[in-house]
Structure 1
Amino acid sequence: METNEEECEKCETAELSQETDNATSLHERGHKVGELRTLLSDAGVYSYAAICALALHELFDNEWDQKFNQQCIKLILEHLHLPKQVEAVMITLIEGEGSQSPDAYVELLMSEPALNGKPLLVIEDLIMLAVHGGEYDARMRVLIRHVAKLLDVPLELVDLLEESAVDYLTDDQKELTEDEKKELGRRQRKKKIKRYALIGLATLGGGAVLGLTGGLAAAPLIGAGVGTFLGGASAAALGSTAGIAIIGSLFGVAGAGLTG
C-alpha cells in the first residue's frame, strides 16, 4: 500500500512532466518574430496593441514624439496583423482621448490561455520586433520596460532578453576594434559568471540534480533555484511556461537566443 508521501511524489512528478511538456510546446512556438499573435485570441491581440498605445501616451505625450508614437504603433499593428481601421482607434488612445486605463486590457491579455497568466512572451515578442531591423531605439526600450511593469514582468528578466538581443545584433557584424573586442570580452565574462551561478543552482536541496533535456529544464525546479539568484518575482516568471525559454538560452542549450 502506498503511503501519502509516495502518492504526493507521484502527483508532483505528473505535474512536473505536464508543465515541462507545456514549456516545450510554448518554447517551440514562441521564438520567431510574429508567431505570438497566432497563439492569442483576437481580443488578446487587440489588448496587446492597446496596452502599447496607452503606454506611448503615458511616456511620450509631447509634440516632438508624436511622429515616433505613430510610427511605433503602426509597426506594432502591422506586426500583429490588425486591420487598418484599428490604427485610428489606437491613435486616439495615444492622444489620450477617452482617458482609458490599461488595467482592463492587461487583465484580458493575462487571461489568454497561451500566456497562462505569465506574459513574459509578450515582452520577448516586443524585443524581437524592436531589434528585427538591426537597431534598438532608446524610446522603444523605454516602452518595452514600461509594458513589462504593467504586466508585472521583472526587469531582471527584461535585461536577460535584451542581452540575447545584443548577441543577435552583433552576429555577422564588421570586424571589431581592439577596444571593442576588450569590451565584448568583459561583457561575455560577466554573462558567463551569471550562467555559472545559475548552473550552480542546478543542484538543489537533497542533492537532486536539475536535468536539462532537449534544451529545456523542469519549470518548477528552475523557479525554486533561480529565486535565490534573481529574487522571488523573477523566479515566479522563470518557473512559468513562458519563462522557460530564458533558461534554455542561459544554459546555452536552447538554440540561438531570440532568433530561434
Structure 2
Amino acid sequence: MLKNKKSDNKASIEISPDNLDIDVKNNILNICLLDLDQIYKNNVNNDFKQEFKNNLIVYLKLDNYQVPPYDIKNFNEYFIKYKDKIMTHRAFKIDPYMFPLFLLVFSIRDGSYDARNAVLIQNIIQYLKLNDIIFEKYEDKMIDLIIYFKKDSNSSKRFKTSKMKKYLKIGAASILGGTLLGLTGGLIAAPFLAVSAGALVGSAWLTTTLGTAAGAGAVGSAFALTGAALTGYKMNKRAGDINEFSFQKLKTMGSGKRSFLRGQRSLKVTLSISGWISKDCDFATPWTDLRLTAEAYTLRWEGKFLKDFGQGVGYVANWATGQIAQEVLKETALAGVLSAIAWPLTLLSLGRVIDNPWAVAFTRSKPVGRELANVLADRIAGNRPVNLIAFGLGCRVIYHAINNLAKVPNESNRGIIQDVILMGAPIPANDDKLYTSWMESIVAGKLINCFCQKDWILKFLYRTASAQNKIAGLEPIKRVNPRIYNINLSDIVEGHNDYIRKMPMILKTLGYNASNFEEINE
C-alpha cells in the first residue's frame, strides 16, 4: 500500500533521473544499449548508437558509466537480468508502463522523436508484455500535454519556478490521470494514479521546455502541431511530370454505429497509399478501418490514371467471375508463374483494357515516390516517426521513395520511417542488396510484405516479364534482415482486386484494424 502522507506521496510521484538510484540508472542504460545492438547490428547506425549512449548518460547524470561485457547471442539472459533490476524501482513496480514512458520523455526532450528510439521503446513494451495500444494512449496524451502548455504559455504572464511547477503538476495530473482512469475503469486507486500521472511531472524537461512560450512553441512546431503540415503541403512546381500530389487527413475510423473520430495529433503518423481507385472507392475509403496510429493521412496521387487502372482491374476481374473463366484460370494462371503461364486467348484480348492504364500509373509512381521522399526528408510531417502502408501500385510509390532516401548516405534521412507494410506489391522480391540497404539505413522498424500466391491479375500484368523475376506481391521477400516479415494472404485474397474489398479483414489479420483499438477502449 502507498501511504497517504504528503511526504511519501511526493517521493513516489516524481520519476526523474534525480530520484533513481545508481543501479537502476546503470541498468536502464544497459538494457537500451543491449536492445539497440540487437536491432541494429550493422555499422551504419553506429553513430546513432554512440550519440544515444552519450545523451542518455547525460540525461541520467551518470558520471562513471562503463558498458558491461555481454554476448548478444545470450540476449534474453542479459535482458531479463537488466529488466529485473530496473523493476525494483517502486514506481515501475506499481505501473510498468512508466518505464517505457520514462524513455519516451527522454526520446522527445529536444522536440525530435527518432524512429529508432520509437522502435527501441516498442521492443521494451513487447518484452515487458505490455499492451502497445494502451501505451499509444500515453503517447497521444503527451501530445495533449504539449498542446495544453503551448496554448497557456502564450500568455505574457511570467510564472515563477515554484508556481510553474505547481501549474505543470495540475496539468499533467488532469490530462494523464484522466487517461489512466479511462483505461482502467477506475479499478486503480487514486494514489497509484498519482504515481502514473506524476511520472512526467518530475521531469526537468517538462518544467524547463514546456514552461515557456518559446519552449512549448518550439516543441509544438517540431512535431507539426502548428499549421496545416501535411494537408497544407504544396508540391514543387518544378515537378512537372506529376499532375496530382496532396495529402488528405483520415478523420474517422470504423464504420456505421462503430465509427468514431480519430485523434487529431499523435507522436507518430501513418501515411496510407492506394494502388487504384474507382467511382465507388476514393483514396480514403480502403483505409477506413486502419488503426496504426491515431493520426493518419492518405496520399492523393495521379487520380485520373489510378481511376483508369481501377476500371481495368474491375473489368478483367468481372470477366473471371464466369464458370468457364474460373476453370481456365485454375488450369493456367493459378498453377503457373509469370511468363510460363499459357494465358487464355479471351483474357489476352482484354489486355488492352488494363495494360495501358497499368503502364501509365506504373511510370507515374516513380516521380510521385521521389516527391514523397522530399516530403519525408524535409520533415513536413514533423520530427516524428512515419509509418507507411500501401497496396498495389501504392507500394511502388513507397519503393521509389525509400530508394531516393537511401541515395543520400548520411544520418539526415535516417530515423524518419518506422514501419513499412506492403500488400500486393509490384516490386522485386529477390533483390537482396536492395532490401539490405533499406533495413540498414532507412526502415527503422519492420518491413511487412503481404503477398498472395493466387493473385492472377498481378501475374497477368507481369506476363511479359522474365521467368527469373520474383514479385513481392506474389511470394515472400528473402529475409536478409530479421525485421523483414512475410504474411501469406492467400486464404483471404483471391485476386488483386480483393485488396480493397478485403482490406478490413487484412488489417485485422495484421493487428491494425479499428476493432483491435475498440476492444481496448471498451
- Into which bin does the TM-score normalised by the smaller protein fall? 0.5 to 0.7
- 1:134-213 matches, within 5 Å, as 134-167=111-144
Q: Which structure has the bigger radius of gyration?
A: 2
User: 2: CA distance between counterparts of 1:160 and 1:23?
Assistant: 25
Q: Matched residues in 2 for 1:107 and 1:123: separation?
A: 14
TM-score w.r.t. structure 2 length? 0.29
Q: 1:130 Cα shift?
A: 1.2
Matched, 1:115 2:72: no
Deviations 1:178-227 (A, max 9, x none): xxxxxxxxxxxxxxxxxxxxxxxxxxxxxxxxxx9x9579x9xx66x733
Q: Which residue of the other structure, out of 69, 72, 82, is the alignment partner of 1:96?
A: 72
In 2, the alpha carbon distance for the partners of 1:19 and 1:150 equals 34
Q: Distance in 2 between matches of 1:124 and 1:19?
A: 26
The 5-angstrom pairing of residues 24-43 of structure 1 reads 25-27=11-13, 29-30=14-15, 36-43=16-23
Is the Cα–Cα contact under 8 Å of residues 39 and 114 in structure 1 kept in the other structure? no
Alignment size in residue pairs:
181
Kept after mapping to 2: 8 A contact 1:19/1:241: no
- Matched residue SS, 1:68: helix
From the superposition, tell whether residues 156 and 239 of structure 1 become closer, same or farther in structure 2 (CA, over 3 Å).
farther
Q: Which of 47, 54, 62 does residue 67 from structure 1 map onto?
A: 47
**Structure 1 residue runs without a partner (length 5+):** 1-14, 31-35, 174-211, 249-254
Bigger shift: 129-138 or 57-66?
A: 57-66
SS, match of residue 61 in structure 1: coil
**What secondary structure does 1:116 align onto?**
helix
Structure 2 alignment gaps of length 5 or more: 152-169, 212-522
Higher fraction of strand: 2
How far residue 154 of structure 1 moved from its aligned partner, in angstroms, is 2.9
1:51–1:106 CA contact under 8 A, matched in 2: yes
Higher relative helix content:
1
Alpha-carbon distance in structure 1 between the residues aligned to 2:22 and 2:183: 34
Structure 2 match to 1:206 = none
Q: Is the 8 A contact 2:2 2:9 kept in 1?
A: no
Cα distance, 1:243 vs. partner? 2.5
CA distance in 1, matches of 2:55, 2:139: 19
Q: CA deviation at 1:39?
A: 1.8
Query: Which residue of the partner structure matches residue 207 of structure 1?
Result: none
Cα distance in 2 between the residues matched to 1:41 and 1:51: 16
Greater relative CO, 1 or 2 (CA 8 Å, sep 6+): 1
Identity across matched positions, percent: 17
Question: Paired residue for 2:286?
Answer: none
Cα distance in structure 1, aligned partners of 2:104 and 2:125: 11
Partner of 2:195: 242
Say if 1:47 and 1:108, in contact at 8 Å, map to a contact too: yes
